[in-house]
Structure 1
Amino acid sequence: MILRTFGWSFGVTVVGLLLALLYDGPTGLALVAVLAVLEVSLSFDNAVVNAKVLDRMSAFWQKIFLTVGIAIAVFGMRLVFPLLIVGITAKLGPVEAFDLALNDSHRYHQLMNDAYPMIAAFGGMFLMMLFLDFVFEERADKWLPWLERPLARIGKLDQLSVVVAGGSLALVAWLSASDPGSVMIAGVLGMVTYILVNGLGELFSEAGDEDEDEDEAKDGAEAGKGGGRSGPSSLALATGKAGFFLFLYLEVLDASFSFDGVIGAFAISTDPIVIALGLGIGAMYIRSLTVFLVRKGTLHEYVYLEHGAHWAIGALSVCMLVSIGHHVPEWITGGLGAGLIIAAFASSVVRNRGEGGDSPDSAAGGGRPLHSSQV
């Protein structure tokens, strides 16, 4: 199970470390290893949320996420994105930006830092909207009932997530940003991206559920007439347009998480090749961990993990907003996320033991394993 799930990650790790050794000797090897660990520590909560969404997708879109999505995550966000940001900021072409990264790392780092407030505003708002929509929704299971119950009650106010996120953005832009206008525009774009992609995914998912209900009714009618067709599965999975928008949602979510890792990586190295290798290896482990969580039904068995991941996302979004005006060390960001998830996992274990080891969800059938074609 471990080898089947993490085999590609192990292989990419070996290749990546060998390339780092050939590219920059023992120093490059050490830097890539550190960056890989940094990426995993900062993005573990990303894997938990990814697994929740991936469990709703059809086999085809799961496979797209685990193949095309990996290419986008590793090469797009970890290599091309920093070059694109520097190119836009300095008004350079892609080749010139890459040449600047290799031959003038100080200037390259400076340009990335100049662009960081806008990057943090976009990613922070996207993640904050995700967090707020989770905590403002009424849920049967509550990890922190003393806090989640009142939040769910006030969450009945329509569009409260937009109000809170927009107010937070305005406050940060006013108090901390050296260029409030750019921060506000980037933050609003992050909110709009979340609302659009998430809304389209839900819209087409509901449309797919309605179509499946109609098909089920037709199958039932035909069965009543003696037809031989069997009804569809009781588990409705996102296909077609719904699957596509869930895929887009996951990619934007991954991009928002990667912002913090990409910027934090510059504290360790400014070489784009070293950063891409290190963060790429880490991204592979996050993808493999996502698959592992789905196959094992971990989110069904440990019901508070999802809560912990969303609280970690909320903490990360706050850290990103604070970092617009003040530096937030990476160990604080990664430590908060890891600490919340560990606490949620421990709470889930205690809950399961108190119920004889069977949570309601696991008793109902546990997680849905990925299809064998996706190994």
Structure 2
Amino acid sequence: MNYMCRFQRLIFVFGGLFFLFGCSEPEPIRIGFIADFEGRASELGISGRNAVQLAVDEVNAAGGINGRKIELLVRDDMSTKEGGANAARSLVKAQVRAIIGPIRSVVAGGVVPIINEAEIVTVSPTVLAASLVGKDDHFFRMASSSRKDAEHYARRLYAEGYNKIAVASDANNELFTGPWVETFRAEFEKNGGTVTASIPFDAGNSKGLSATVAALLKAQTDAVLVLANGIDTAQIAQQIKKTNEHMQLLATSWSASENLVVLGGRAAEGMLLGENYDRNDTSAQYVRFRDAFTGLFGVLPSQSSITSYDAAQILFAAMRNTDGAADLKSKLLGIRGLKGLQQEIGFDGFGDGDRALTLVVVKDGEFIRK
């Protein structure tokens, strides 16, 4: 009798454990996010991370992907190639299924070898470097190439009436800025313009930006084009306007952030630059996203927010059609014409995207379409 009682108790215990584990939630799908969250370009990383977190929260609230929740693992790349490599290694060790990021091309130089070796699909919202384009690897890009971007700017700026342009570029992101400037020069001069000076600068240098600004103004130019983040662009604008208040300032989508208008103040007024999204979009889809983003984080979304959210959406769409990481690359390559927040998203056969650019001007602290 005692033997039977013990046997029945064991059946009850093991049966309860089987029920407990059998009904537990399946293991989450881990995805990583790599960006800089403390440096001079951290605004783009923070806004991108927040947008991806919003996308993760939304898909989890809807039941996850094929019944599995998404877990977001965030790593700071310190805005360096070495930091990017370390962040990628950490996420590989954590067995993420995919990665979103990085934001800067210089960081991608450290990330790409690690993720290719591990065969982990990585989707960058913003990286433009031409050296990363046209590769059959695991690195996907939402943005156009730096070549296409630079050629577009050169043609548009010449059409706007600028014949002589001096260029200041961030030397700390030379993987992107070096080829961009050379492509811009070639296209601008082919159209009839002249690049009067090309000056790399390091905003962290103890000597500051005064020598850079002096060389730009000495170049006898119609306009100054700054290829840098919003903070550095604002500081250069401030110093240029102190000496020559009438100098026309130009910038790229990299500078198009709230830091530019807040820190640039009056010096940023009239600046002409490009953007790859419409911050004044009134479509129901964008307004829903904008209101949700602003409600959670207390700021308006930026270009990095838009492309990071779109990166998450196309990644989730591919994940829904595969059971493992092995064929995630092929599923991503097979997606065509997926509706993003403002543009269709998808990749060519090499995992490279393309986003349309439009010119805007800073007026009364706002970015207004031309």
Q: Give the structure with the larger strand fraction.
A: 2
Q: Give the structure with the larger helix fraction.
A: 1
Length-normalised TM-score, structure 1: 0.25
Q: Which has the larger radius of gyration?
A: 2
Bigger relative contact order, structure 1 or 2 (CA pairs below 8 A, ≥6 apart): 1
